[in-house]
Structures are given as structure tokens and as C-alpha cells.
Amino acid sequence: MIKSETPGLSVVLAVDGNPRFLAKWLAAVDRQRDPSVQVIAVGVNAPDAEVQRCSPWVEWIVLDEEALVPNLWAHGIRSASNEIVVTTTAWFVPEANWLANIRHAHSESGAAGVGGIVDPPPDSDARSWATYFLRYSDLRLLRPGAVTEIAADNASYRRDDLVAWDEHLAEGFWEPDFHRHLARRGGHLVFRPDIRVRLEGSPETARFCRQRFHHGLQFGRSRAVAEGRWRRVLRIVTAPLIPAVILAKLLQRVRRDGRHGFLFLRSLPLLTVFIVSWSAGEMLGYVSLSGVRSGGLEGV
């Protein structure tokens, strides 16, 4: 239950890798924020002095350069103090009224979590489009209303629910696990396409492949922990088919959306590399459960 008609916001910004779009994100948010909005930027590199000087309203947290985005989010979430916690990354630039629409969505719906859309990149950079097709193209196919999953890259949650999940944040904020936790507690998620951010770029290829591998590893371990022995054996046996299954899903999305077919083909070589990186991690996750709790990550 939302405590007020205009809930306070704490925005947790993961600054992953080269922060070349950070200034654009800060400028977009500065135009729409008010003094009550808390902004926490968590990154693997300290921002330069000019960025800090121009954005005194940002709280900066710097972590080890090996930290994944879910780890960056987890540290920021633990520093959040307002009623609603927003999660996103510096690879996006929010549209106008982003913060106002988030507030309105929570006040109107009373949802435990609200997700928004990620628009495709403004140019034809193959790496950015490969990232978009793999991670965000499904969002364009969703309708407003109740959903079972939202992307934490453009999402917001009630802080009270996150506090109840705090013991799991030491391993990072893996949103599918948190969403299952919310469902068990009777919470619901909604999708609002008026809450928009645009993908401006993506990490360097090697870094993104590393992220995909570790995210796939977490996803595979999560499934292996949750399922029985024989189901796990079946997943190990069929694991070589994972890249083909993912690619088939992506092709189906592109056909349903009816746009960007040429850009999909242009980005296909890099997209294949990213898919194989994820698949290798997922496959390893099925056969390696050492020290694993019930982790998880986004499915494709």
C-alpha cells in the first residue's frame, strides 16, 4: 500500500564501464527532479571532478571494477531512503516526465513494482542494437497492466519490500528472484509504457560478454537449485540447444514487432557472440552448484 499520493523517490543509477553517457543522463534527470528526489550513482570508476561539480545533488558510491550491475544496484538500494526506489543504468537517457510518471504509476496502481519501456538506440551501432535485441526487445510487445516480470533497468519498487529482501542483497539485486519473493507476499507488478528510457549505448564487447556469461551462470544455477535432479539432467543434456532456442525467440519478437529487421541482421554476428556467452554460463550453471543459494537473472 502506497503511503502517500506523491511518494518520494530514490533513484539508484548503475554506472557500468565507460560513463560516456553519464552527463546526458544527469542532464535529463536534473530537468525533471525536485529537491526531494534522492539520486545515488554507483559505479566502478570515480566520476571526474567536473561531473561531480555540476551535479552536487548526486550521492556517489565507487565499487570494485569487477562488480556487475546487480551488485551496483544492491549497494545503491541499501543507501536509499525514500518510499520508492528506482533502478536504472547510465546506458540510458530518460524521457521527459520519467520521474513524474513513475510517481503517478505507484500512486495509481499501488503496485509493488512498476516497469517501463526501453526504446532502441538512436543510431545504427551494431553493438548497441545487439544489446537491445537481446535484452529489451520484448518490452515493446507488452501491453499496459499487470505482468509477471519487469526489467530492473527501468523499474521502481517499494522500499519496504526491498528492506524485507535485504539479506539477499549481499549477492546482488537479481530482480527475478525478488519478483518471486513479491509474488509470494501477495505483491504485484505492472508495466507502464509511458515510463520510457532510451538505450544510448552498451559496454565494450569483452565486458558485455563477461556480464552475459555471469548472468547466464546465475540463471542456470537458479534453475538447477529450484528443480529436481532429473529435470537438471535433462537441462544439461539439452544445453547445447540453448543458443538456437534464444535466437528463435528473438527472431519471433522481431517478426511480431515488424520493425528493425535490417538492423537485426546487421547486429547478428555480435548478437550471436552475446548469446553464446550467456549460453556457456547457463550451461555451466546447471553442472556447478558450489556455494549457490537461490540466485537468478532475467530470462530472454
Q: Report pLDDT digits (tens) over 214-240.
A: 999 988 888 888 777 788 888 889 989
User: What is d(CA 239, CA 235) in angstroms, rounded to the nearest whole number?
Assistant: 6
Collapse the DSSP code of 8 into the 3-class scheme (helix H, G, I; strand E, B; otherwise coil) and give the result: coil
At residue 5, the pLDDT reads: 63
User: What is d(CA 271, CA 130) in angstroms, rounded to the nearest whole number?
Assistant: 5
Q: Cα 199 to the chain's mean position, in Å?
A: 12
At residue 126, the pLDDT reads: 95
Residues ≥6 apart with Cβ < 8 Å to 295: 171, 174, 177, 218, 219, 221, 222, 225
Q: Beta strand pairing status for 9-15 and 154-158?
A: unpaired
User: What is d(CA 179, CA 187) in angstroms, rounded to the nearest whole number?
Assistant: 9
Work out the pLDDT band at 161, boundaries 50, 70, 90: very high
pLDDT in tens, 71-93: 999 999 999 999 999 999 999 99
Residues ≥6 apart with Cβ < 8 Å to 292: 221, 224, 225
Return residue ranges of the chain for CATH 3.90.550.10: 9-199
pLDDT in tens, 113-158: 999 999 999 988 999 999 999 999 999 888 999 999 999 999 999 9
At residue 292, the pLDDT reads: 41
Place of cell 539479506: 167
- 173 in Cβ contact with 14 (< 8 Å): no
Cell of 126: 551494431
At residue 124, the pLDDT reads: 86
Average pLDDT over residues 269-276: 97
At residue 289, the pLDDT reads: 62
Cell of 135: 535484452
Residues ≥6 apart with Cβ < 8 Å to 288: 217, 221
Q: Quick one: fold of 9-199?
A: Spore Coat Polysaccharide Biosynthesis Protein SpsA; Chain A (3.90.550)
Residues making up the chain, counted from first to last: 300
Q: Beta strand pairing status for 9-15 and 84-89?
A: parallel
Cell of 6: 506523491
**242-257 vs 126-135: helix crossing angle, rounded to 10:** 100
At residue 287, the pLDDT reads: 85
Cell of 253: 519478437
pLDDT in tens, 22-48: 989 999 999 999 999 999 999 988 888
